[in-house]
Amino acid sequence: MATYRYSRPEPDAASSSAHQVTDASSGQPPSITSATEVIGDDTAAPDVAPMPVATGSAMAFLRWLESAGNARSLRIEAGQHLFNQPTTPQPHIHLLRRAVALSGLWVFADELHGHQAVSQDLRQRSIAASVLLSGSSLIDYISSLGLFSFIFRLAPAGPFPYTLGLSTLLLLFGNWSGRAMVDRHKGQAIPNISLGIFIALSIFQSVTAGIGVFLFNGQARVVEARAEVLIEDDLSERRKRIEGLLDPANPAIANDQEACNANRLQLSQIGANNAAYQQLSVETFGRWDDRRVPPSNRPRWELANWPLAQWPLCPRVEQQRAALQQQAEQQRAELALLEAQVQQAPSRAEFLAANRPQVFEQVFLRSDDGRIELKDGVQAFGAAWEFFWNPPAQHRSDLILSWVYMGVSIITSAGAIALLHWQSRADNTRMSFAVPCGQYRFKLLSELRDRLPVEVQQFFLERQRQRLEQRIPPASGVAIEDISNLNPDFQTLAYLMQRGDETTQQEAQRQYWQHLINLYINDTSDSGDIDYDYLYNNVIGFWRNLKSASNVQAAPARFIDPPAGR
């Protein structure tokens, strides 16, 4: 394809002679670019002239369009249009962006402001808010996958549909509430409610973010911790039973011990000469002859294996205490053996499976691949929660990454909340939603377009005067009346500005400028750009007057002229 260069218009004679044809015999329609840009070469460094003073002049506005980098595609499209054909912007469909936008997985910057009048600083701040909002949502989304897959791992059809569905729903809900926070031009209720929802959702997701990340690869440790709790509960119960057996106030002998002590006290008080002393002594310690039977000098009730209920009161207490002591020693030996077995087992869960199968089956199950998992999802989450916030000392280092991730989630969520709230309160954000500002912006652009014919006529008259003074002969080439005979591929403005005679070049140049302004108006009708200083200053002034005249929320949707300055 032939390569052409097109110089940006200047109000002098040089602008009509700056076109250089490098290959006129290719048979392809020529293309036009800025003087520093070549079609097909996006790497060319633009040599942008200093920004001209922004005024209400149509020619100054055109010079700004020629120097603005974001107007490159408009310049090319304006130059490639057929002679005397209407100009409409060609939509640029970005399928990936559209798919992502429809999915709601990412909030784009232009969703965080209106499209009536948008300044460059608002777009830049919206980009930062977009990255922070979407980034924090994706951080929480990643952690929620681990959390919900752990909770729903035993659900019908597996955990994947439940995990993906619920995690995506939370992501979409968070992004929706983030978007709804910024639009306050219709009232404060919905943005404030959305702010509350976003804060609550962020707190929940940030608190559970660390647990979710931990559960990606820490489920085995949660199972082990739960098994260790069950084992420790069993061991603690055994220790308590041993302590109870050794307790002097054991309930099994408490009544007899109290009676023995009471009888001893009474015997010491009544004296041996009292008639009741002998009977109370036999009841308490047994008959004297039965206390030591030769030759062993052991008590008769012990030698004859009397039933314990027939033993004298105090010896019965001693016998019961000795029996409790023996039980305690036996259980202490069993406890020591059990603790040794726990330490030797490959894992606490495996110990339960081998030695406490009933307890194991109540709490755990073994999957097809041999892994041990918690049976109940609620208990599993509770165990994970307890492990995360109160980890055993030997496992705390395993949670450093999870704690760091939770910190990142908290920081990004707090930053998104602060930035979006500030965005919603910012004056230029509210202006971007104000319909009257968009209408006033369009009015200013229409006025610039309406001034173009007169200014173009003056431009060409001045250039003709300069050509006459410099004795430059008029350009020769295709006349306007011969254009209809040209192949439609050669009826582009770029071709005619380079190959036409002076009248044709001037008409092509005029149409190019007209198309360029029309394309800019149409192309920015949805984005509301006011980057041109003349637009920016006037729209900002209109907005300030509008605010001072009435609340922008109550402004009618019809076109409003700027109120008189106060």
Do residue 456 and residue 375 come from a single domain?
no
What pLDDT, on a 0 to 100 scale, did the predictor assign at position 188? 82
Question: DSSP secondary structure string, 389-455?
Answer: HS--GGGGGGGHHHHHHHHHHHHHHHHHHHHHHHHHH-HHHHHHH-HHHHHHHHHHHHHHHHHHHHH
Do residue 522 and residue 466 come from a single domain?
yes
Rounded average pLDDT over 544-554: 67
Query: Pick from 377, 395, 413: which residue ends a domain?
Result: 395
pLDDT at position 117 over 70: yes
Do residue 381 and residue 491 come from a single domain?
no
What pLDDT, on a 0 to 100 scale, did the predictor assign at position 46? 36
User: Rounded CA gap, 286 and 103, in Å?
Assistant: 92
Do residue 373 and residue 271 come from a single domain?
yes
Q: Is the pTM of this model over 0.85?
A: no
Query: What pLDDT band is residue 38 in, cutting at 50, 70 and 90?
Result: very low
pLDDT in tens, 124-165: 999 999 999 999 999 999 888 888 887 887 778 878 898 889
Quick check: is 204 in a domain? no
Do residue 358 and residue 499 come from a single domain?
no
Quick check: is 496 in a domain? yes
How far CA 386 is from CA of 352, 392, 479, in Å, comes to: 20, 10, 87
pLDDT at position 509 over 50: yes
Quick check: is 260 in a domain? yes
What pLDDT, on a 0 to 100 scale, did the predictor assign at position 31? 32
Rounded average pLDDT over 410-420: 93
79 close to 512: Cβ distance less than 8 angstroms: yes
Do residue 443 and residue 321 come from a single domain?
no
What pLDDT, on a 0 to 100 scale, did the predictor assign at position 564? 44
Do residue 387 and residue 255 come from a single domain?
yes
Query: What pLDDT band is residue 16 in, cutting at 50, 70 and 90?
Result: very low
Domain that holds residue 374: 223-395
173-177, 223-227, 239-243, 376-380: the lowest-pLDDT one = 376-380
Reading phi first (left if > 0) and then psi (alpha if -120 to 50, else beta), residue 56 is in alpha
What pLDDT, on a 0 to 100 scale, did the predictor assign at position 135? 92
- DSSP H or E run through 457: helix 435-470
Query: What pLDDT band is residue 511 in, cutting at 50, 70 and 90?
Result: very high
What pLDDT, on a 0 to 100 scale, did the predictor assign at position 24? 29
Task: Indicate the average pLDDT of the chain.
Answer: 80
Between residues 98 and 494, which one has the greater pLDDT? 494
In the chain, count H helices and then E strands: 21, 4
Do residue 92 and residue 234 come from a single domain?
no
Rounded average pLDDT over 57-67: 92
pLDDT at position 32 over 60: no
Quick check: is 517 in a domain? yes
Number of compact structural domains in the chain:
2
Do residue 11 and residue 77 come from a single domain?
yes
Do residue 444 and residue 548 come from a single domain?
yes
